[in-house]
Amino acid sequence: MPGAFLQQDRVATGSVASVQATIATTPITNLQDPQPRRRVRLMGSSATITADLGAEVPVDCVALISTTLGTGAMVQARLSNVANFSVTLADTGLLNAEAQDESQGNVALVFPGPVTTRYLRVDLTDGAAPYMDIGLLVAGQLWRLQRGTAYGIREGRVMLDLNRTGFAGGCFAYVTLPWLVDLVRHSSVLRLPRAGYSRLVLASVCY
């Protein structure tokens, strides 16, 4: 379960630009299109994307969604209150994008805390790739959960939700993966017919 959510995409209401060449059918403005499959294609193995958020707003998360970045791709995000980035308010440093299959091409960069900024710069490199495709560039402030939605009662996880299980008549079970072999799994909820339970059970699985 995610512990934070992006409140508002500030890039969507601002403007974006890139010094790299793009294809007419995949323009840079596709970074602001809510459909991430409408990508921008940046020609070459390196690119710099800048965004004017339109006003000074709080930002602590920058994300590239639905990219084709390879396993060796590197990314760096910077925030500034001047368009030429002569003054940097926050800098992630150069990081591995980690946009492999398990990330589904998504790259999320989170700063330690919100920074009031107007301009965003993202630098990308991807080895010898002939081009880089990116579906969305989003930036904004995260809404961080103050109350837990985790259902586990072990491994240091604390139940804080007033509705103890999220549905009537539920209970907790603590199991290990080998014990799950003969069980039928329904999403994050398990039916435990062989364990003597007659009700639907939420299980905290220990890996």
Render pLDDT for 26-73 as a digit per residue (tens, 0 to 9): 999 999 988 888 999 999 999 999 999 999 999 999 999 999 998 889
Q: In this structure, are residues 41 and 26 in contact, taking their beta carbons and an 8 Å threshold?
A: yes
Taking alpha carbons only, the member of 141, 144, 146 closest to residue 8 is 141
Amino acid at 13: T
Q: Report CA-CA distances (Å) from 109 to 98, 102, 112, 173, 204.
A: 11, 16, 10, 35, 29
Burial of 173 (0-12, 13-18, 19+ CB in 10 A): middle
Q: What are the helix and strand counts (H, E) for the chain? A: 0, 15
Domains and CATH numbers, the chain: 4-144 (2.60.120.260), 147-207 (no CATH)
For the whole model, what pTM was predicted? 0.68
Q: Quick one: pLDDT at residue 207?
A: 39
Among 40-44, 161-165, 170-174, the minimum mean pLDDT is found in 161-165
